[in-house]
Amino acid sequence: MSAQEAPTERPAPPARSGGAAALGWILTIGLNVVAPIITYNQLHDHGWSEFSALLLSSAWPVLDSAIHLAWRRKLDEFAVVTLVFLVITAVVSLIGAHSARALLIKDSGVTGLFGLLCLATLLAPRPLMFYFGRKFATDGTPESTAWWNGLWQYEGFRRTMIVMTTVWGVVYLIEAGVRIALAYVVDTDTMVVVSPVMIYTVLGCLGVWTAMYGKRSQAEGERRAAAAAAEAEARARANASTA
């Protein structure tokens, strides 16, 4: 079925487990924000250098990715992207100047690369937000995954994914630039707190915007579907009356 011939009425999503989704978010926040800050402060207080404490505290996000991979028991596109950026982070952390400021700048550069990746996937068959949306809008079951994949046939859904990917890419490029600038004017102890908080504040704001924009786009799609159905019904009645 072509995009022009695709049906206008979208199927409803299958039921999903709210408890599993909540646990996933708790693990993500705990291992990516809380644990790194506590680890850095404890190591630094016990005589570790700023660079060593910062490098070791970054191991928590790696553990988070490993847990999610073991939980899902499969390597999807989202997991591949995550692993690629973990490798990039590890490589850039070990090359160049070994200082806490350099590590913070390199970390900011990774989020900038994520922004570039978002924009680059606009040239791919499906943009990056399609895969991110599938991770967070489904529970990973074959039924929910098939439902999400099937939405690509709708022109409105494709446009929504493209807009979301563009916004995320631009925002993360700006976020990376701001964090790099702050690394030069704010002391390391402060930046260790500011950096992850900033990352997840931006992520939270993007998440709220994405949810609002997604609902608005869905409502617009439903309105157009209802209008198309009403128009088709009117034409059918007109044809019946002239027959």
Task: Give the total number of structural domains in the chain.
Answer: 1
User: What's the domain range around 117?
Assistant: 18-242
Return the structure tokens found at 180.
Answer: 């790099």
Give the CB-side neighbour count of residue 136, counting CA atoms within 13 A.
Answer: 12
Answer for the pair 25, 192: CB distance below 8 angstroms, yes or no: no
Say if pTM beats, i.e. exceeds, 0.95: no
Write phi, then psi, for 6 (nearest 5 degrees). -65, 145
Residue-wise pLDDT for 171-214, tens only, equals 999 999 998 888 888 887 788 788 878 887 888 898 889 889 98
Residue 118 in any domain: the answer is yes
The reply to whether 4 falls in a domain is no
Is residue 54 pLDDT above 90, yes or no?
A: no
In a domain, 49, yes or no: yes
Identity of the amino acid at 25:
W
pLDDT in tens, 10-27: 555 555 555 555 666 676
Residues sharing a CB contact under 8 Å with residue 108, sequence separation 6 or more, in sequence order: 176, 179, 180, 183, 195
Residue 180 neighbours by CB distance under 10 Å: 17
In a domain, 2, yes or no: no
Q: How much is the pLDDT for 4?
A: 40
CA distance 121 to 186: 34
Q: Is residue 202 part of a domain?
A: yes
Backbone CA torsion sign across 180, 185, 187, 193: negative
